[in-house]
Every structure is written in C-alpha cells, then in structure tokens.
Structure 1
C-alpha cells in the first residue's frame, strides 16, 4: 500500500483527495472518510488513474485544516495594492509564481507589474510584504491592453467559480434536416504544416477551382492570397461565397473582391458584436470549400503570418518566417458539402442579425533588431513536407467538431479517455474557465497527476498570470508546460499517439464554447504520427520553460516619431495573432 497526502473533500456522494489542486477520488469506506472533510490527511491505498482504491486513513492523519499557499498572498495584496499602485510606474499587483524556483517547486510570490513606458523607481517597492517575497516584472503589451486577472480568480482552486456567466449569444444550430455534424469514413487526406508548406499547398488548391469557392475566415489580408483570389474572379466564371469577421486589417476586402468577382460574389460580415450577435466575439473559422467536392481546413488565417509566401533558399530557417500552423485538405464530397451548408447557414444568420462593428486598431510593437539573428542560431534539418493519407484501402474515421455546437464536450471526452499521452499546442490557454472548458482544464491536471506523458506548448500570446494560475491553482505541472520561442498559432491536440485534432478552436471559454470555430478529429495513427513529429520538433528545439522570463517581450510603439535605434516596428498581428 502507498500513502498520499492532501485535503479530504466531501462532494455529494463522492469523497476526493485534493493534493495541491489536483483531485483524485477516494474509493473506500464513506463513513470512515467523511469525518475527515477539510482536514490535511495521509491516505493509504493504491492509485489507478484518477482513483485511489482501498483508501483508508493512515495512522498519522492530522486534524488541522491546511491553508491554501496563495491565501496569505491574496490577503496581503488586498490590503496593500492601493498603496502600491500609487507608486509611479506601477501598472498592477497580482499573485504569481517565482521565476527563480525549480520546475518541481511552486513558490508563491507577490508580483508587482510595471509599465515600461513610465518612469519607475524599484527602490520604492519593498522586497517583501508580510514576509512574502516580491518580484518586479514589466507589463507585456497584452497585459497593458487586456489587463491582469482579477484577484478573485486566485481566490479558489476552481477558477471557473469566478468566470463570467454564459454570454447571451443568439446562435441557434441549424435544423438537422438541413445540415448536421456527421462522423464519416474519409479517403484522400493531405496533411501539411506551416510555415513549411502552408501557401505552397493552399495556392494550387485555390487555383484548381472550376465552379465555386465557399470560404469562412477570420482574417483575410495577405496580399499574395488576395492576388490569387481576385485573379480567379477576373479569369473565370466561378462563384465566390464568403463570410468574414471584418477587422481594420481587411475592411477594404469586400470592395476589392467585388471589383473582380462582380455579381458572382456573395459576401457576409460575421455577427460577433452588439446585442443581437450570433457569436460572442469571434468568427474564427478557417475553411475553404472548392466546387462542393473538397475542402481546406486550418488553424491559420489568410494572413501574412499564417500563410507566408516563402522564397527558395530558406529551408533551414523556415520556423522564423511564419506561424506554426496545422492544415489539412480533404477530397470528400459529403463532408465538403456539410461544411458548405454550415457556412451558408452562418451567412444567412449574420444578415438577419445585422452588421457588427469593426474591431479596434491595435498599436504597433517594437522588437529588438537582433531578434532574427538570435532565432537563426538553430538550423532546421529539413522542411516538413505535405503527405496524403488513405488514398486507397481502409478509410480514416473523421469526426467534425464545431463551437458552439459540440467541440468542448467532445474534447473533454478525448482527454478523459487518454491512456498514454496528451500533446497540446495552442497560441494561448486562457483563464478563468467555465463550463466544459473548466472541466477540460481539470482533466489535464488529473492526467498529469496520473503520470501520463502530457506536454503543452503555448505561444507568445500566452499571458504570464494565466500560466501561473494554471500551475499554482489548477494543478498543472510546470515541467510539462513550455512556451514556444518561434511563432506559434496552432490549435492542435494529439492523444495516445493515434488521435489528432486539427482546427481553429482556441483554448478559452469563448473559443471552445461561444465563438464560431471548427476542428476535425482524425482517428488515425499515421496522421497522428505525422503531426507528432512536428510537435516534438518544436518541443525539443523551439521551446523554453514556461514562467522563466527568458524570452523576448515586445513593447508598444509610440504613435508617432522615429523608431528607436536597435528596434524594429512591427504590426500587432505579427506578434500576437489570433
């Protein structure tokens, strides 16, 4: 028999052991365990996954309730934050995890966040408050624009307790007699990744259109893609159907397309704002259906970062030239028509709801001129080339997922059923969480605690306080959680080496439940291994420990004036891409 220490929690008919935010079920005598509710206890038994079998109190069970290690930090911040914010240059104060502790040690600290654009005197901030260490960190552009997590998000292990209520969106799924998400057996699946082979695969797909192109997109402003699509309009008699979340980057695209496609263009602006909005804040899908027979689906927008036009001779530094994206092209008429019907349904619903407001223009950023030189130290041995699966023989089972429809519960089911490994690669993972997404966050912690090979990569859009809350309060292990140093925009999931999820769903409450996104689940070991090779390349060569402060952080550029020496001005989307 082994022993396990934690706080006993009685939850309805179940009794759980809370070990630092990770909860496992206790399978034992209810009457013997229930009186220990809220007490720090040593339990004897044998763990099987998320259950401790034959659980009994060990002889040294304690009778003193344990204190949440963040409780004194929250109390200290609550009493001192008003005073600290009066110090010039202080942007905010929050709980956090020390960047100097080892991966297996979670050392809570008070984090004073400063505004890099303001004068700041570090001597004005004490090194400790109520005996708690204080760390000073500059605010990132994301923190300056989006703010820090509220203190209440740290006040309970279940961050979902402080999440916002379900947003009042107007989405109603189409009637199943019109179109439904149907799992299918599929042949001819071409897998490819960006930046290595994104545009060189998408371009001939678009140029192969002979009758119609139906597109759902979040961003569309890459000049080379605009040129290709407008040329189709000028040189063919095809029809173009498109729904787009129009932003400041692509607010002229409707007129540009109308000039080349004329009356053969059917264009709708997605409904993502206002009281009658269909989706909460993003129409984030990236799908193009060609001739109602085949379709392209991706994590990446039609933007310069997601679909870079790469010239020959850059094979050893491809990762510097665009985002890591996962894409797929499928030649399957029933599934292509399913997506086409969903897109046209969204277009009709958007017109009924009325136009949304154009998103605000984000500021430019400044990055060190030496950044490209630093990234180029690593040489990529070879590009990751496209590969087509199931051209003959057995088909691949493919399940389509959409939000708000079915993404969150289906992903939760995949995570809960994982037996060996879970690899996640996302632009970001947001907190607090609500609903099924909150359950997904807990399920990841449970799989880490159970000893599965869990590896998580996030990109530059990840906010530090969200990462530290996941580690400090939700039970995620820091050594299994890394930040990609190259550009990352992917939204991929790999389970047990034989399931791959490719698509556009960000991991946030909105991205999994309340915005329009779509992903595909491939029940195929060869396809999963294709994407696993790319994931492990990124994990091994292009990532660094999360919460270690060793990366390069851009700063917000001034609205006018010259660019400082040694710095380069870049658009917001070049660094923080949705």
Structure 2
C-alpha cells in the first residue's frame, strides 16, 4: 500500500497521464542570483507591444510560454509567423485551465488552444488540481532570456499603437541561471499539464481585432536598457510569493511605493493580513508609503486601514487606460518587484504565480518614473483628499525639492487658492501660497501647482500638506513626509519566514506519516527475519 504513495512524493506526474488529485507542487525555493546581466524594462501601454515582438522574433532555438490567458489575435498571428518562418524553433505554450474571463461565452483560450494545435505548436493546459488558477505570466526564450509580465497576452496588455490598454510593468532578463530557474517551474508545470482535447474543450470563438482608441501620449515608449551587477530573486506562488512581498516591504527604510489592483481577504488572518501588517509597520518606522489601486474594486476595508494610519491610497486614473492591472513594488528607489501576484490569499497561497525582485538602483528608478506619472494623475475616493509628491523622491542635502500639488479633481469646481504647508522636523508650520505657480498636467490642463523647498541637511524630515479652495469650499490633503538622506543603509532585512497559512506538502506528509511509519516497521521486521534465517 505504501508503495503507491512514494512516487507521488518524489516525482511529478508523467506527461501522458492526468494529474492525480493529490499531486504536490514542486518546492521552488528562495534563490538570489548576484551577477552581471542585461535587463530591459518596458510597460504597457507605452512600449509593451514593440518589446514583446522584438524578443519573440529574436528566438533562434525555443520559446516557452506559461500564461493565464490569450485573447490578442496579433500575438497568435505572430506565433504562427515564427512557427512558419523558423520551423526549428521549439515552441511550447502552457495556458491556464479554467481562466476567468478567458472561457465561455467569448472563449478565447479554447480558440487559441485549437489554433495552436492546428499549427503543430506544442500546447497544454496547466493542471486543474494543483492550483486554483494558473495566473502566472512568463516567457523563456532560447533558454537565456526570461520575460516576467504583470499582464496576459491580451489586447489590453500589448496594444497596437493608439489603442487603449492597462497599466502593467514588464521586464526581460538575459541570464542563463535566471532562465534555468523559471524553466524548472515551466518544466514541472508542463509535466503536470493537460493535453488539449477538442471534443472536451471545444474550438472557442475567433479572436476580435477591435480595440478602443486612446490619445495617451505614451511617455515611456522607449524601453530601459541596463547592464551590470545586480541581485535577482525569482518568486513564485504558492511557494515564495508571500516571502518575496514581505522581503520588499520589510526592507523599506525611506520610501515604499505599491501599485496593485486590489486588497481582498482582509481580516481573514491569511497572507494579505500579513502584507497589510508589514505596510503599517513600515509606516510606523517612518517610511513614506504610497499606494495606487483600482477604483472599480473600491475595497473599503483596506482603504480605511491605510487612511487611518496616514497612508495615502489613490485610484489609478482611467481617462487614458483601463483599470489598473499592475502588481508592483518599489522600495527606496533601489528595489523593484514585478509580478502577476494580486493581494488576495488565493493568489498568494493557492495559485501558480510568477514574479521577480530586482535590486538595482537604476532599474528601480526607471519604474519610479512610471509610478510618479500615475501618482500625479490619480484620484481619491474622497474629493477632499489632495494628491502631493515631490522630486527627487529621496533628496540629498544638496537637492532642491520640487513639491507638486495635483489638484485635477478640483479644477472643474473653479480653484481660487492653493497653499502648501511646510514643517521642517519638529519646527512650526510655514504656509506658502502657490496659486500662481501652476503648470499643465500630462493631460494638458493647468491643474498642477508647485513650490520649491531649498536644500536641507542630511537626516531632515520635511512634512508637507496641501490646501485648496475650490467652488467656495476648502479641501485639505493628507500630511506626507519628505526624508532627506545622503545615503540609505544597506539592505539588511533577513529573508522573512511568513506565518504559516497551510502548506499542502506538509499537510500531506503529516497525513501519510502513519503509512510511512508502518513501512519502516515492516522493513525493519523483514531485515530482522532475514538475519535470523
């Protein structure tokens, strides 16, 4: 009897068999690569389409894709072209089974599966037993370049020029060791994958080429190119995603910027509560925290928690883009996390997800510019809240500090007065009228107001607060703290051990412990009998 359990513990399910109900995700452990490598940064909607096309077209040996869903017909056409013009390129595509939004009635995933199969491209569904959803989004090209995406292969993630899209971060890393890590995830999930079956899965409906138009100017159309020494830590759900998120938040010493669609599972004593506690702890140790989330979700519990703690939480502007779909963190302008991981207990504990932590100042600063752009256009749930930030994010003793009050929510009411309160350390408040120092926002409207604070000594903390009079009413913003630092201490946060929320491998081992003990007893008994003979 025990023999039937042993293979389950030590090897993935064979490719020609359906996964067992109790199959166990492989243990992908925390691993950091400190090396010289080349990295390309790009975001949607700005330059995502061009960069994905560039990397896929560069393939000479292989393209391995593990993704939640595909509804972009242009990408399907591109795969067809590569398969036709480069028949020697090994293409394998693994798509999420039962992916929400990618099945009936539109059914893009079955259509893609059907067409890839007709092309002769290797295709599988991810296991339907190991993960609630296979929500990861990564690509490995020629066993050396790995692309980590916040978005799917969707029209809203990789749009054509002039078309509307989500805000999403992407990164491409060229390094064989990093690629090997993600390939091990792909190989495991491929080994447990499910073959496409036309009678069962259907053929779906043809993908639509239609896309909504947008006048977004795409200021980040040019990708970032970086080379040099950096630390790269892959993270995956359900194994290390909570560990990675907590590592980033707990490392913050001066600034912490988070862009995430939503917070769910609040109050459930799971992974999300640990993340919220870590954010509150960062605020308590004097880290300046900013959060951009998605207005449509409007998760009141998290908003109330952060507002009560003095943490500003704004909603992604949707005048140029669809609701927020990014899942990123920037720490102290030197650490950045790009991932598919949402802040729900299910995403962290039950899904397959993929992400990466990069420790490299120039790369983190590249994404900071994108975050600051979105911050300047964000909306608040309460119109009384005003959006404020400054440049540079972490000023030094020689930096002039340009503080901007973003008042676009109030412009339509008729702004008559704008002032900025400034307090140096524990000194008294000074108020400056800045109504006349106005400039156009990215949308071309005169709704941003600025004040320049002179350089301050290293270690100074500057508190700022905006006040706007519009339509005869007074609106007062949240206090925010500018921290002047000539240097930031080294990253000394130990790799965190999250509070256990239930591990399927441990639980199954506990369940099987009596059988293992019985097998050991039987084995010892057999040895003793043999010796007596």
Same-fold status (TM-score > 0.5): yes
Rounded Cα–Cα distance in structure 1 between residues aligned with 2:138 and 2:151: 10
Deviations 1:144-177, CA, capped at 9 Å, x for gaps = xxxxxxxxxxxxxxxxxxxxxxxxx9563436xx
Find the partner of 1:445 among 276, 280, 288: 280
Closer/same/farther in 2, CA of residues 329 and 473 from structure 1, 3 Å limit: closer
Name stretches of at least 5 consecutive residues in structure 2 with no aligned partner: 1-20, 205-211, 386-407, 410-533
Matched, 1:517 2:353: yes
The question of 1:469 aligning with 2:301 is answered yes
1:457 aligns with 2:302: no
- Displacement after TM superposition at 1:234 (Å): 1.9
Instruction: Tell me the equivalent position of 1:252.
Output: 111
Counterpart residue number, 1:491:
327
Contact 2:63 2:91 in 1 (8 A): yes
Offset of 1:507 from its aligned partner?
Answer: 1.1
Q: Conserved in 1, the CA contact under 8 Å of 2:63 and 2:142?
A: yes
CA contact under 8 A between 2:252 and 2:331: conserved in structure 1? yes
Structure 1 residue 351, shift from structure 2 partner: 3.7
1:422 to 236, 256, 266: 256
Matched, 1:286 2:137: yes
CA distance in 2, matches of 1:452, 1:279: 35
In 2, are the aligned partners of 1:479 and 1:545 still within 8 Å (CA)? no
Deviation at 1:424, TM superposition (A): 0.5
How far the C-alpha of 1:435 sits from its partner, in A, is 2.8
CA apart distance, 1:503: 1.4
Counterpart position of 1:398: 232
Distance 1:304 1:227, change over 3 A: same
Asked whether the 8 Å contact 1:434–1:509 carries over to 2, the reply is no
Give the TM-score taking structure 1 as reference length: 0.55
Q: Is the aligned partner of 1:235 residue 2:94? A: no
Match in the other structure for 1:211: 61
Report the number of matched residues. 344
Cα offset for 1:450? 3.9
Partner of 2:371: 535
**Map of 2:420 onto structure 1:** none
Q: Which residue number in structure 2 is paired with residue 408 of structure 1?
A: 242
| Distance change in 2, residues 1:471/1:181 (3 Å) | closer
**What secondary structure, in the 3-state scheme, does the structure 2 residue paired with 1:396 have?**
strand
Distance 1:524 1:473, change over 3 A: closer
TM-score normalised by the chain length of structure 2 = 0.59
1:321 to 164, 176, 188: 164
Query: Does 1:269 pair with 2:125?
Result: yes
- The secondary structure found in structure 1 opposite 2:263 is coil
Structure 2 residue 154 is matched with structure 1 residue 303: yes
Paired with 1:310 and 1:448, the residues of 2 have a C-alpha distance of 40
| CA displacement at 1:546 relative to structure 2 | 3.0
**Change in 2 beyond 3 A, CA 1:181/1:231:** farther
- 1:389 CA drift (Å): 0.7
Cα distance in 1, alignment partners of residues 113 and 384 from structure 2: 42
Which one of 45, 68, 72 corresponds to residue 195 of structure 1?
45
User: 4+ residue stretches of structure 1 with deviation over 6 A?
Assistant: 549-552
User: How much has 1:396 moved relative to structure 2?
Assistant: 0.9
